[in-house]
Structure 1
Amino acid sequence: MASPDRSAPPTGQILAAFGIDVVLVVIFAAIGRASHDEAPIAGLATTAGPFVAALVLGWLLSLAWRAPRAVVRTGIPVWIVTVAGGMILRAVTGQGVQVAFVIVAASVLLLMLVGWRVVAALVAGRRSR
């Protein structure tokens, strides 16, 4: 019988990281709706949906569960796929993909999806001292 992979992160850590990513994408969509005087809750699924779907794809493509808090190995690919995939899905569903929105979305999602991982890495580094 094969021995379990001892380097695999605990399931709780994987679920927490995925949950943080989803919540941050939904917050991004809610802030965007509110900043354009759109009802923050009504229509939130329509706005967040393409980005959440792309986030899931980003997790699958990057095998994020292997290192869910890794900045470069997971955070960067998940961010790229979330932005690119979200924009493609928005275009396909007839939602706007103006250049200014792409720039803002890419910047905010970089700060959110990669940023929390940077903070987690810094905290983990301090704890190991």
Structure 2
Amino acid sequence: MSSPLRTTLLAATADLVLILVFAAIGRDAHARGDIITGAFVTAWPFLAGGAVAWALARVWRSPLRVWPSGVCVWIGAVVIGMLLRAATGQTVVLAFIIVALISLGVFLLGYRALAALVLRLSRKQQRRA
């Protein structure tokens, strides 16, 4: 598998897993049963929002960049996710929007920032060798 394709698949998988982790943590924090399947029920609007953002922003072109890729996935997941939750009768309150913005921001931007740091340090080390 080529490196750009591998990077894209890893980034898409990381986004998916981190959105699921966000949903699972939220369900656990609110003592809602059925964390595994329940996490999918809670996560699907955010997953759909992230997928739409991937397509509209063409994130596959630079999947590990914080800007614009990470920011588009983050904002897309939250905005579209909240709109889908509202459209399907799920809870959308200001506190939840704030928690989602912060949590998904840390998750979806954080691993990209960490990846950028690791790549930068790796390139520096290769130049020295």
TM-score (norm 1): 0.91
Distance 1:52 1:26 in 2: 8
- Corresponding residue of 1:36: 30
| Counterpart residue number, 2:127 | none
Amino acid at match of 1:33: R
Q: Counterparts in 2 of 1:34-113, with a 5 A limit? A: 34-39=28-33, 40-113=35-108
Deviations 1:66-86 (A, max 9, x none): 000011120011111110000
- Please tell me the residue identity of whatever aligns with 2:47: V
More helix by share: 2
TM-score (norm 2): 0.91
Deviation at 1:9, TM superposition (A): 6.0
Runs of 5+ unmatched residues, structure 2: 125-129
**CA RMSD, Structure 1 to Structure 2 (Å):** 1.2
Percent of aligned pairs sharing the same letter: 43
Name structure 1 gaps, 5 residues minimum: 1-7
Which amino acid in 1 is paired with 2:111? W
| Stretches (4+) displaced over 4 A | none
Secondary structure of 1:54's counterpart equals: helix
